[in-house]
Every structure is written in C-alpha cells, then in structure tokens.
Amino acid sequence: MLALTGISDITTHVVVVADLRDSIGGQLAEALSEVEGKSEELKRHFERVDQKGEIPTIVMVLPLRAVSLALAPVNPGVAHALHERRLPPGHVWAVIIGHEGTTLLQPRYEPIKAMGDA
C-alpha cells in the first residue's frame, strides 16, 4: 500500500518504482534524496540490499512533468505518452524503471482514509 500525503491531485503525479542500478532510476533517486537531505540514507539502503543479493529499488511519487523531462532523452515514447494519453478515471500513472528498460502503467487507484481519520 502506498500512502500519499500532501498531494491534492494524484493525476498530476507519477508513481515511480526504480531499480537503483539503472542509470535513470539511480539518478532520479539520487536527485530526490539530495533535495530531501537523505543521500546517506539512500546509499546505506543500496549497500544493505545489495549485500543481501536483492534488487535495490525505491518508490517515489514525483510530478508528471519532472518524470517526463527525465525520461525524454532515454525513452521518448514513455515521456510522450505521459502527456498525450488520457488517464482513465480512477487510475494513476506508474512508471517502472528497470535495469533493462522502462514500462508505463495505468493501475487503478482507490483513495483510502489515513489511519486516525474519521
């Protein structure tokens, strides 16, 4: 489950699941972690997961425009689709950035109340 706080319109954002070994996924994660002041935390996560032989990944929710600009040079088809395709009601954009490629999805999204909300 992904909890989104502080985002009033999820249709203007993209859920990004990135393999940190991928050049674009790694760069996005590094840039975001620097802005958030969590570069060392990201580095420790990568090392810890890598030592276990697992795939180091991160889940981010980023503005649609930022994701489109980041992907345009390496995957113009996905970048173009983010702007040109209509997002069906009840869906959210999701981009999976893997070690060997990028996939664009439109999974269903159902808002839920946060714990403690009445």
Asked if 66 contacts 83 with a C-beta cutoff of 8 angstroms, the reply is no
Indicate the average pLDDT of the chain.
Answer: 83
Q: What are the beta bridge partners of residue 14? A: 62, 93
Asked if 29 contacts 76 with a C-beta cutoff of 8 angstroms, the reply is no
| Residue 52: predicted pLDDT | 93
The predicted-structure confidence for 65-91, as pLDDT tens digits, reads as follows 888 888 888 889 999 999 888 888 888
| Residue 77: predicted pLDDT | 92
pTM of the predicted model as reported, rounded to 2 decimal places = 0.78
Position with higher pLDDT, 44 vs 118:
44
Stretch (H or E) spanning 36: none
